[in-house]
């Protein structure tokens, strides 16, 4: 796949691990930026995570070059400084102060490169919590998202790293805004995005609900929906979600499923009345849906304008016919195996955004990066032989 490259020529140095920081680089790479990922000697430990972390590295590190540096050595640190001095953007998501202790704080980097946009992805923006270590799950628990996701009294994290990924997206927004401002001022700036404040933004709708109504929002499994029919319905085989979100769709729904008695009840013609009558309406509807298969229900609903959804699983998405139209791209892993993983969900000029389709082995691009920085071959080999720079041969 080849797609639009609006950020072609933008050079990014990335000091990241896990999900939040790598997400920033992956999106920028998909938009055409050149990403040099700085890893410790031997490679980022995220590469070797198991269990639910096994997909972090391949998902968020496509389209990047890799150089391994020993940042505890003067030579390795010097290479990092040269990279930063030659970059448009730096992205980092390590513990507060980690890069500062190496002399790679924003002020020092900006002194060497005034045009640098320095993006820090942190747990918290400035305040009492800013020195705490945060993870996606910590932010979900603190910020109310886990409370809203699970049943009452049973907080439950969302089923994906939604805060890491969304926090990374906010970082990209900040970088793009800073690049635009740099066009006018000629100067870069520091951009900071955070897990906790990202969570608060996402639960803001529930905060606003409380501000408007004076009633705390109930967790999603116990909420009073804004619509009478906005539920998962059992069928003869697989469950299906159906939503009836307008009065016109209520009429259509009743006619599709032969609910003549409900449509004849004029007291149910308006949405709020139907919400009040949910306990009467749903017992009439569920048995009708339950006599059908999921495919029969979907066939009846498809093309009607009624919202519906089969209950998909992540592994089902590999064979989804819609995603086959450009929503997945071939990715080759370090061991030579391949899979189809999600593309960046954007289209520009009627073309899907794509990124390079290989995952770089740790240090694969060391010599190329050193050459780009102007190091001659002899100096590069000395750095590699000393262990300051790791290279995969």
The predicted-structure confidence for 345-386, as pLDDT tens digits, reads as follows 999 999 998 766 789 999 999 999 999 999 999 999 999 999
Average pLDDT on 161-187 reads 98
Which phi and psi angles does 256 have, rounded to 5°?
-60, -40
Q: Do 86 and 159 contact (CB within 8 A), yes or no? A: no
Average pLDDT on 70-92 reads 98
Kindly indicate the confidence band of residue 108, based on its pLDDT and cuts at 50, 70 and 90. very high
Does residue 222 surpass a pLDDT of 80? yes
- CB burial string 99-121: b at 16+ within 10 A, e below: beebebbbeebbeebeebbbbbb
Identify which of 4, 67, 2, 7 has the alpha carbon closest to the alpha carbon of residue 34. 7
Does residue 303 surpass a pLDDT of 80? yes
**In this predicted model, what pLDDT tens digit does every residue of 275-295 receive, in sequence order?**
999 999 999 999 999 999 999
Does residue 5 surpass a pLDDT of 70? yes
How would you class 209 by CB atoms within 10 Å of its CB: exposed for 0-12, middle for 13-18, buried for 19 or more?
middle
- Provide the whole-model pTM: 0.95
Q: Give the chain's domains with CATH numbers.
A: 11-202+326-390 (3.40.50.10540), 225-313 (3.30.1540.10)
Average pLDDT on 193-207 reads 98
Average pLDDT on 223-249 reads 96
pLDDT of residue 392: 85
Kindly indicate the confidence band of residue 1, based on its pLDDT and cuts at 50, 70 and 90. very low
| Percent of the chain whose predicted confidence (pLDDT) is above 90 | 95
Residue numbers annotated as active site: 164
| Percent of the chain whose predicted confidence (pLDDT) is above 70 | 99
- Distance from C-alpha of 50 to C-alpha of 32, rounded to nearest angstrom: 30
Average pLDDT on 204-222 reads 96
Does residue 187 surpass a pLDDT of 80? yes
pLDDT of residue 310: 97
The rounded mean pLDDT for the chain is: 96
Identify which of 206, 230, 231, 223 has the alpha carbon closest to the alpha carbon of residue 152. 223
pLDDT of residue 2: 64
């Amino acid at each position: 796949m080849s797609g639009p490259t609006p950020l072609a020529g933008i050079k990014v140095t990335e000091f990241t691990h896990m999900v939040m920081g790598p997400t920033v680089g992956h999106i920028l790479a998909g938009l055409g930026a050149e990403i040099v990922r700085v890893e410790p000697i031997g490679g980022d430990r995220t590469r070797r995570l198991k269990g639910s972390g096994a997909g972090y590295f391949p998902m968020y590190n496509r389209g990047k070059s890799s150089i391994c540096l020993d940042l505890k050595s003067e030579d390795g640190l010097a290479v990092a400084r040269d990279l930063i001095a030659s970059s448009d953007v730096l992205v980092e998501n390590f513990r507060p102060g980690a890069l500062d202790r190496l002399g790679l704080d924003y002020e020092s980097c900006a002194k060497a490169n005034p045009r640098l946009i320095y993006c820090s992805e942190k747990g918290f923006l400035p305040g009492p919590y800013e020195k705490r270590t945060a993870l996606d799950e910590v932010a979900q628990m603190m910020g109310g998202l886990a409370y809203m996701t699970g049943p009452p009294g049973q907080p439950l994290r969302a089923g994906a790293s939604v805060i890491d990924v969304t926090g990374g997206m906010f970082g990209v927004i900040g970088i793009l805004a800073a690049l635009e401002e740099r066009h006018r001022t000629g100067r870069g700036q520091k951009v900071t995005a955070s897990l906790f404040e990202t969570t608060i933004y996402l639960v803001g709708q529930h905060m606003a609900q409380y501000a408007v109504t004076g009633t705390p929002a109930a967790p999603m499994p116990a909420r009073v929906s804004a619509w009478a029919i906005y539920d998962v319905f059992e069928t003869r085989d697989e469950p299906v979600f159906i939503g009836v979100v307008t009065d016109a769709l209520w009429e259509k729904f009743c006619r599709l499923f032969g609910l003549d008695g409900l449509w004849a009840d004029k007291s149910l013609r308006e949405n709020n009345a139907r919400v009040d009558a949910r306990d009467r309406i749903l017992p009439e509807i569920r048995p009708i849906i339950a006599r059908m298969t999921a495919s029969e229900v979907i066939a009846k609903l498809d093309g009607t304008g009624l919202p519906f959804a089969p209950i998909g699983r992540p592994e089902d998405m590999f064979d989804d016919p819609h995603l086959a139209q450009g929503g997945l791209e071939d990715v080759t892993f370090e061991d030579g195996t391949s899979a189809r993983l999600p593309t960046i969900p954007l289209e520009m000029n009627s073309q899907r955004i794509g990124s390079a389709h290989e995952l770089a082995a740790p240090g694969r691009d060391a010599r190329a990066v050193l050459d780009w920085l102007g190091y001659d071959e002899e100096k590069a080999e000395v750095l590699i032989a000393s262990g300051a720079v790791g290279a995969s041969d």
